[in-house]
Structures are given as C-alpha cells and as structure tokens.
Amino acid sequence: MRVVHYVNQFFAGIGGEDSAGSGPELRDGATGPGRKLASLLGDEHEIIATAVCGDDYAAAHAEFAAELVSGARERGAEMILAGPAFTSGRYGMACARIAAAASEAGLPALACMHPDNPGLGEAAGTTVVQSGLTARQMKDSLERFAAAALKVAAGEELTAQDGRIGPVARANRLADHNAAERAVALVITRLGGDRDATEIPLPDFDSVTPAAPIDDAAQALFALVTEGGFVPVGNPDRLESARATKWVRYSLDGLDSVDEGAFMSVHGGFSTQWANADPNRILPLDVAREMERDGAIGRLHGEVLATTGNGTTVADARRFGMEWAAELRQQNIQAAILTAT
C-alpha cells in the first residue's frame, strides 16, 4: 500500500513549542520516526509522504485533518498512519482527528498513542493501537504500530492482543453463560481479591495538575472564559443549552460591561433569570475592567471563549479545554479566569 504518515512539528524536525503554531503541510517520503516505521512495514508498503502540523495549530483548527487527508488522497495514498503520540495530548488529538478524517474519506487508518492520552476520546471509532508512555519507548511502540498496520492493510480486525485501545464498535453476540451464572462467577472473582473485574468498564476520569501561579498579575495578559452558556442575545451561533458539542467566541473590545439586552445565558442546567438580568454574573467583565484600570492585572484579552457545561461529555469537555489552551497560548495569554455555573 501507499501510505501517508502523520507526525507533529517536533518529530518532523521543525521545532518544539516555539513551532507549535506551524500549519499543515505534506512532505515527500518518510520523516523522523517514519523512516524506522517504513523499514518495519517492509517492501510491500511505501510511505510516500509525511503529513505534518504543529500541535497548537491542530488543536485550534480541526479542519486541518480534512485538508491533509485530501492532499494525501491526491498523492495516491491508500492508508493513513498517525503517531506514535505517547501521552502528548495535543499530538494525540491531532492523530485521532486525522485518522478519523481518513476513515470518513474511505481510507484505512490507524493511530498510535498511550491509553492515558486525552486524544483517545477523539478517535470517533477509528482504530487506535497502544504506544509506550514516552518517546523513550519509541522502538517498541513503532514495532507494535507496524505490526498492527500490516494487519489493517490486510483487512484484518485488531484485538486487544494486537494492542488495540479505545472504544470498539459494539456487536451483539450470544454469551456462553446466562446472567445469573456470570453474576455468581463475578462475585467469586471479587471475593478472590480481584477488585477490578467487571463486564462494564467505567470511565477513567482525569486528574489535572493545576498550573503554577503567575509571577506578576499586574504584568500579565488575562482572558475570560466561561462554561456558563454565555452568548449575545438571540444566540446567533446556536450554542446548545446542554450536551454542548462546540464552543464559541465573541469580541469584548470597547466593552466595559456585558449588559442586559445585549448578552444572555442559554445554560439549561439552572434558572438563568438573574444571570440574564445582569450578564456580568456569568462573565465578570465589569470587575475585570476595574482591575485592569487599577493595575491589578496587566491587560484583558479582547475575546471571550464560551461553551455550556451542562451534560457535556468528558471527551468533548476535554477537547474544548485543549482547544482553548492552544488558542490562548497562540495569543501569548498568561492567565485565564474561568467562570463556572
């Protein structure tokens, strides 16, 4: 098969965090870890091009994936491989997105990342194989990745024995034992000391380490972000009142306050009567401007980023956070004030 391999700016040799905003591009042949991957795939498969994008750009511009997949198809790609991303969240999200875009375009695709990578939730049913924790496990990760890719290229389904991770499409099957027999067997297993045995694995919620305090708030650029369903009156972008699938942004330039009749909350998880009477209760622009004038904070960013935190899935919330972080980093913002409901 003719293969296109996706890597981020670091593994493409462009640079580190200083180059995370670089846009998507296609390079001829294999690059970085793709060279070793190409040798592991053997003579029957050729990496004809390497797709590259900076981590921040990929997190902030979801359309990059379709752009790269389109370019890969124009070059005659027959399969897309992405990674390994290890535990790098932005890189993992990019790998998942490009693999999902390839699958939607009818191309076999495979991504590679660690099970703890937050990008795993973006895979949207695309096949993902496990990598090591860090790039120190590059050799073993590439060997597992290549072995899995060869199976995918041959039209075979991957299993946990192949290192497959993440959600798998549900399929009905006839169990070998009825529910009562399975329940008794599970009780006996638990009594035997296995506290993790289950037929229904529960979600693994992340524990996020807070960022270090900023050195000097009076010199820092601040941003306001909110999950309070904050929108202009009329909700022009149709932000959902619950189970949000997107976030929105609005200009705050020239505003000292967000006033009744101009802004509102569409949050469906509480009564918005008092919030809509004074939208500064959702987005404290009035107080933030006072702090800006008094020198308590250096300067306020000119946009608010908003979504609705009501019944939103963990995967979507994680994606919003990563996209917001990439957006704020690109604007050189040092601190964010998040208002929650």
155, 224: one domain: no
Q: Which residues of the chain have pLDDT under 50?
A: none
Nearest to 279 by CA among 322, 213, 224, 238: 224
We report the CATH number of the domain holding residue 34 as 3.40.50
CA dist., res. 76 & res. 67, Å (int): 15
25, 144: one domain: yes
Which DSSP state fits 116?
A: T
21, 161: one domain: yes
225, 147: one domain: no
Take residue 142 and report the two structure tokens written for it: 């590439």
Residue 151: inside a domain, yes or no?
yes
Report how many domains make up the chain: 2
Pairing of strands 25-28, 46-53: antiparallel
CA dist., res. 169 & res. 335, Å (int): 40
Helix, strand, coil % in the chain, rounded to nearest 5: 35, 20, 45
pLDDT at 56: 92
**DSSP bridge pairs for 164:** 129
22, 155: one domain: yes
Encode pLDDT of 142-157 as tens digits. 999 999 999 999 999 8
Range of the structural domain that residue 40 is part of: 2-165
Residue 207: inside a domain, yes or no?
no
Residue 198: inside a domain, yes or no?
no
For 36-73, the DSSP string reads HHHHHH-TT-EEEEEEEE-HHHHHH-TTHHHHHHHHHH
Listed in sequence order, the residues at least 6 apart from 4 whose beta carbon sits closer than 8 Å to its beta carbon are 26, 47, 48, 49, 50, 51, 68, 72, 75, 77, 79, 80, 81
CA dist., res. 33 & res. 14, Å (int): 14
Residue 178: inside a domain, yes or no?
no
Residue showing tokens 């409901």:
341
pLDDT at 172: 80
- 293: number of Cβ within 10 Å: 10
Encode pLDDT of 209-226 as tens digits. 888 899 999 999 999 999
Residue showing tokens 């202009």:
232
pLDDT at 292: 96
pLDDT at 231: 97
pLDDT at 317: 87
228, 316: one domain: yes
Residue 32: inside a domain, yes or no?
yes
40, 150: one domain: yes
9, 155: one domain: yes
Residue 212: inside a domain, yes or no?
no
Distances in Å between the alpha carbon of 177 and those of 135, 174, 199, 255, 314? 43, 9, 13, 66, 33
152, 230: one domain: no
pLDDT at 312: 84
Residue 180: inside a domain, yes or no?
no
The string over 222-238, giving b where at least 16 C-beta atoms fall within 10 Å of a residue's C-beta and e elsewhere, is bbbbbbbbbbeeeeeee
Residue 246: inside a domain, yes or no?
yes
Q: Name residue 77's amino acid.
A: A
pLDDT at 206: 66
CA dist., res. 110 & res. 6, Å (int): 10
242, 158: one domain: no
For 252-306, the DSSP string reads -TT-S---BTTEEE--SSS--HHHHH-GGGTS-HHHHHHHHHHTSSSEEEEEEEE
